[in-house]
């Protein structure tokens, strides 16, 4: 039986997460300024001289030029990022920042229009739902000390998806894209404004019969409205409905299947994941004076995740086998034996939050100050059941596990950008996080019970950023901040109802960098960083490919590295009518265990001090070259490279027979897109992903090898009227 719960959709107030650009011209009145209500960076001009740390803005033109089928392909072109493709279609985001474990993007705060999107931001921050790239106008990634005003995850950084706003003039959008494997992507949208009111409505439908091994059907609906109540205040409303059915599975192929070229054998064809998400928000903002802005926020969303998964075994002597066998039965753990039963994981999550925030521009002792102060109250609740079915397609059966997990979080923050001079800006900030959580176990191991346990965690999170503007075109920046991530509720309280001493994940993060803009054709950013963990949480969860209980205190780790990003508009340099642009991004990362920690026992005990962290490649780089002539014909070339990775703490090189452990070789992917502009805003295109049809292991998680997406061809047409 599925999780029983009431779905609650609250039309509420969206967060004003950042207002930096409001005061970018300190002597101008705010009354005619359009306040950004969803941005964490505000605008690209801030990147040069006021953001105290590494930051990236990907605009709509860049997103469209790549014709990506998922946000994963876009984010591969960002420094410091390692994207692990679980199924090739980008339905689940596994994003590692600066050597952090990419499993379900746990170490990254992901927002959409400034609002968290994780299942439960504090107690279960996994990204089983990922916002669709098709409805985004830009993406922001902030990795420096400025990220502490956002929480609760302040270790890896903040990733913010920004959706389209209601247009001033009537606009209609449509696109239709088809491709290999029955791929189809369709959109219809319309927006307009009249007087003090504007609205936008968009509907998306995506499906595929087979992208690698993945098939899915997605409907994604969004509507937004804006109402100006007065010259100084407005309300923004947003409703989003997302519905997905896919054959997502944890089961991957064995090592011998991969070596024999059996890359895309569907081992668990009856596995099916259904995700439904409903969210609603309202945003109120008020320009109190030419020096002060106040916003009030509330947001709510509910997500259900019902997952039918067929049971399997690595042993030929397991009970209740169907007779379906994959792999080499002559090799121990070299075959997968399907069983005539299911273990259905049914979960649902409710989240509600309220956040007031004030920004003021004041002058103290002859120095300008941009002050941000705010608080947030958030409530989350998770419902989880495991239902064991008695045949390989059953979605109902015996209720073996039933529990609820709830949490209440309170956070406050203060940040002051102090202009000591025209050249020197310092940005001190502090955040306080408090999380009170409880786990109620109603049924476990097929037995009714009444186990309840609770605990709390809290942390003061300081940060300091410095910008020194050497000139109008060159900025030096440095920063440090405390990284914090609370323990997952399910891991911090055992199945026996005992509260573990599972510490919050803590680090000290440091950055030193240079950002420069040479004339109007070349932008460069170079950043050296270090993440020093006093305690990094190591996943042993099922999604990370391990067996056992929850997460564990992994001890000290150290991440050091260097990032380099270059964007060049060569067309402007040579003053030619043709447009030619180049982007190059490279990251070197050295992420290692930095204290003694022993695995195994007796003669097999191994000290992993100095070993590389799992899924932390040493080198990642990407380059993009785009050409467009005056006749609106263009071509976009993308190349990405990921160096070898270890998949376990022991840094095992030789692969295991089941495919879950072993070194992953380096791989390089090459994509090309050719397009022709019918009008200024409408075009047709053909895009080929992985044009060389490279075969590579994208992941060995959770339960075997996942092979990267094969050559994939799409073609489509965009209309914008």
Q: What mean pLDDT is predicted for residues 356-383? A: 91
Highest mean pLDDT among 63-72, 489-498, 663-672: 663-672
**For residue 205, is it within any domain?**
yes
Q: Are 486 and 152 in contact (CB under 8 A)?
A: yes
61 vs 307, which has greater pLDDT? 307
Quote the pLDDT of residue 554.
61
Distance CA 569, CA 628 (A): 12
**For residue 26, is it within any domain?**
no
**Number of helices followed by number of strands (H, E) in the chain:** 6, 37
Quote the pLDDT of residue 6.
38
Quote the pLDDT of residue 349.
96
Q: Are 701 and 253 in contact (CB under 8 A)?
A: no
**For residue 450, is it within any domain?**
yes
CA dist 42 → 59, 113, 532, 593 (Å): 12, 12, 29, 36
Distant-in-sequence, close-in-space partners of 27: CB < 8 Å, separation ≥ 6: none
Give the domain extent around 414.
35-720
Q: How confident is the model at residue 693 (pLDDT cuts 50, 70, 90)?
A: very high
**For residue 2, is it within any domain?**
no
Question: Residue 82: pLDDT above 70?
Answer: yes
Question: Residue 636: pLDDT above 90?
Answer: yes
Q: What mean pLDDT is predicted for residues 492-502? A: 67
**For residue 709, is it within any domain?**
yes
Alpha-carbon dihedral of residues 664, 668, 674, 680, nearest 10 degrees? Answer: 80
Q: How confident is the model at residue 321 (pLDDT cuts 50, 70, 90)?
A: very high
Question: Residue 29: pLDDT above 60?
Answer: no
Give exposure, 37-55, as e/b (b: 16+ Cβ within 10 Å): bbbbbbeeebbbbbbbbbb
- How much of the chain is helix, strand and coil, in % rounded to 5? 5, 55, 35
CATH code for the domain of 509:
2.40.170.20
Quick: pLDDT tens for 189-240: 999 998 889 999 999 999 999 998 899 999 999 999 999 998 889 899 999 9
Q: What mean pLDDT is predicted for residues 16-24? A: 33
Q: How confident is the model at residue 713 (pLDDT cuts 50, 70, 90)?
A: very high
Question: Residue 701: pLDDT above 90?
Answer: no
User: Taking Cα atoms as reference points, which of 188, 168, 165, 186 lies closest to residue 177?
Assistant: 186
**For residue 21, is it within any domain?**
no
Mean pLDDT of the chain: 86
Quick: pLDDT tens for 523-574: 899 999 999 987 666 655 454 444 433 445 567 889 999 999 999 988 777 7
Domain count, the chain: 1
Alpha-carbon dihedral of residues 134, 135, 138, 140, nearest 10 degrees? Answer: -90
Q: How confident is the model at residue 23 (pLDDT cuts 50, 70, 90)?
A: very low
Per cent of the chain over pLDDT 70 is: 88
Quote the pLDDT of residue 45.
53
106 vs 574, which has greater pLDDT? 106
Instruction: Find the range with the poorest average confidence among 593-607, 632-646, 682-696.
Output: 593-607
**For residue 713, is it within any domain?**
yes
Question: Residue 43: pLDDT above 70?
Answer: no
Q: What mean pLDDT is predicted for residues 483-500? A: 73
Instruction: Find the range with the poorest average confidence among 383-387, 426-430, 569-573, 680-684.
Output: 569-573
> Alpha-carbon torsion 78, 83, 88, 90, what sign?
negative
Q: How confident is the model at residue 37 (pLDDT cuts 50, 70, 90)?
A: very low
Quote the pLDDT of residue 34.
39
Give the predicted TM-score (pTM) of the model. Answer: 0.89
Q: What mean pLDDT is predicted for residues 447-470? A: 90
Q: What mean pLDDT is predicted for residues 334-359? A: 94
Q: How confident is the model at residue 40 (pLDDT cuts 50, 70, 90)?
A: low
The helix/strand/coil state of 422 is coil
Distance CA 332, CA 627 (A): 53
Distant-in-sequence, close-in-space partners of 83: CB < 8 Å, separation ≥ 6: 72, 75, 76, 93, 94, 95, 96, 102
User: Taking Cα atoms as reference points, which of 694, 16, 5 lies closest to residue 355?
Assistant: 16
Angle subtended at Cα 83 by Cα 18 and Cα 405, rounded to the nearest 5 degrees: 65
Quote the pLDDT of residue 302.
97
Question: Residue 496: pLDDT above 70?
Answer: no
Quote the pLDDT of residue 548.
39
Distance CA 48, CA 45 (A): 6
**For residue 8, is it within any domain?**
no
Quick: pLDDT tens for 647-667: 988 999 999 999 999 999 999
Quick: pLDDT tens for 604-616: 888 889 999 999 9
Quote the pLDDT of residue 541.
45
Instruction: Find the range with the poorest average confidence among 253-262, 636-645, 679-688.
Output: 679-688
Distance CA 633, CA 579 (A): 10
User: Taking Cα atoms as reference points, which of 611, 617, 704, 634 lies closest to residue 668?
Assistant: 617
Distance CA 73, CA 68 (A): 6
Q: Please state the three-class secondary structure of 73-134 as a single string.
A: HHHCCCCCEEECCCCCCCCCCCEEECCCCCHHHCCCEEEECCEECCCECCCECCCCCCCCHH
Q: What mean pLDDT is predicted for residues 424-451? A: 92
Question: Residue 283: pLDDT above 80?
Answer: yes
């Amino acid at each position: 039986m599925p999780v029983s719960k009431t779905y609650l959709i609250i039309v509420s107030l969206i967060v004003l997460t950042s207002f930096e650009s409001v005061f970018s011209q300190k002597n101008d009145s705010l009354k005619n300024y359009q306040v950004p209500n969803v941005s964490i960076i505000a605008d690209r001009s801030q990147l040069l001289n006021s953001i105290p740390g590494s930051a990236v803005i990907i605009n709509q033109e860049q997103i469209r030029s790549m014709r990506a089928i998922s946000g994963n392909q876009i984010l591969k072109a960002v420094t410091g990022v390692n994207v692990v493709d679980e199924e090739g279609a980008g339905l689940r985001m596994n994003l590692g920042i600066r050597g952090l474990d990419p499993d379900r993007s746990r170490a990254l705060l992901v927002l959409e229009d400034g609002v968290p999107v994780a299942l439960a931001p504090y107690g279960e921050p996994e990204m089983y739902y990922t916002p669709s790239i098709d409805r985004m106008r830009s993406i922001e990634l902030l990795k420096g000390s400025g990220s502490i005003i956002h929480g609760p995850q302040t270790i890896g950084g903040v990733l913010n998806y920004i959706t389209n706003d209601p247009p001033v003039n009537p606009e209609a959008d449509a696109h239709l894209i088809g491709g290999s494997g029955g791929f189809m992507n369709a959109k219809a949208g319309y927006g307009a404004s009249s007087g003090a009111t504007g609205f936008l409505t968009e509907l998306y439908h995506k499906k595929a019969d087979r992208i690698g091994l993945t098939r899915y059907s997605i409907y994604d609906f969004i509507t937004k409205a804006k109402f100006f109540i007065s010259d100084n205040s407005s309300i923004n409303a947003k409703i989003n409905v997302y519905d997905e059915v896919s054959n997502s599975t944890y089961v991957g192929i064995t090592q011998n299947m991969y070596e024999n070229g059996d890359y895309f054998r569907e081992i668990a064809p009856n596995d099916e994941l259904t995700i439904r998400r409903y969210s609603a928000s309202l945003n109120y903002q008020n320009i109190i004076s030419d020096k002060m802005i106040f916003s009030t926020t509330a947001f709510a969303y509910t997500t259900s995740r019902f997952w039918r998964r067929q049971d399997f075994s690595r042993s030929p002597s397991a009970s209740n086998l169907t007779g379906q066998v994959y792999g080499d039965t002559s090799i121990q753990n070299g075959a997968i034996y399907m069983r005539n039963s299911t273990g259905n994981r049914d979960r649902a999550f409710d989240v509600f939050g309220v956040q007031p925030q004030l920004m003021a521009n004041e002058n103290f002792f002859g120095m300008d100050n941009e002050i941000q102060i705010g608080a947030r109250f958030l409530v989350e609740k998770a419902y989880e059941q495991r239902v064991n079915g008695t045949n390989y397609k059953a979605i109902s059966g015996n209720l073996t596990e039933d529990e609820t997990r709830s949490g209440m979080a309170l956070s406050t923050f203060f940040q002051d950008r102090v202009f000591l001079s025209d050249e020197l800006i310092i940005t001190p900030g502090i955040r306080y996080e408090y999380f009170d959580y409880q786990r109620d176990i109603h049924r476990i191991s097929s037995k009714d019970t009444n186990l309840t346990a609770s605990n709390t965690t809290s942390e003061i999170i300081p940060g300091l950023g410095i910008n020194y503007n050497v000139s109008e075109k060159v900025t030096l920046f440095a920063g440090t901040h405390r990284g914090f991530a609370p323990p997952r509720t399910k891991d911090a309280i055992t199945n026996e109802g005992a509260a573990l001493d599972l510490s919050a994940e803590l680090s000290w993060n440091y950055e030193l960098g240079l950002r420069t803009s040479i004339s109007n054709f070349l932008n460069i950013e170079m950043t050296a960083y270090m993440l020093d963990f006093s305690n990094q949480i190591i996943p042993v969860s099922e999604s990370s490919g391990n067996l056992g209980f929850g997460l564990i205190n992994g001890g000290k780790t150290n991440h050091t590295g260097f990032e380099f990003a270059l964007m060049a508009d060569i067309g402007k340099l040579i003053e030619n009518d043709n447009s030619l642009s180049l982007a190059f991004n490279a990251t070197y990362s050295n992420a290692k265990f930095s204290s003694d920690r022993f695995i195994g026992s007796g003669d097999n005990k191994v000290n992993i001090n100095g070993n590389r962290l799992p899924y932390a490649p040493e080198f990642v780089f990407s380059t993009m070259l785009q050409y467009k002539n005056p006749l609106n014909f263009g071509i976009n070339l993308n190349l990405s490279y990921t160096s070898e990775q270890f998949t376990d703490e022991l840094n095992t090189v030789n692969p295991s027979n089941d495919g879950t452990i072993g070194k992953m070789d380096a791989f390089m992917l090459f994509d090309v897109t050719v397009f022709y502009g019918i009008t200024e805003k409408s075009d047709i295109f053909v895009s080929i992903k992985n044009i060389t049809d490279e075969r590579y292991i994208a992941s060995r998680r959770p339960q075997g090898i996942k092979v990267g997406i094969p050559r994939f061809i799409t073609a489509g047409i965009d209309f914008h009227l």
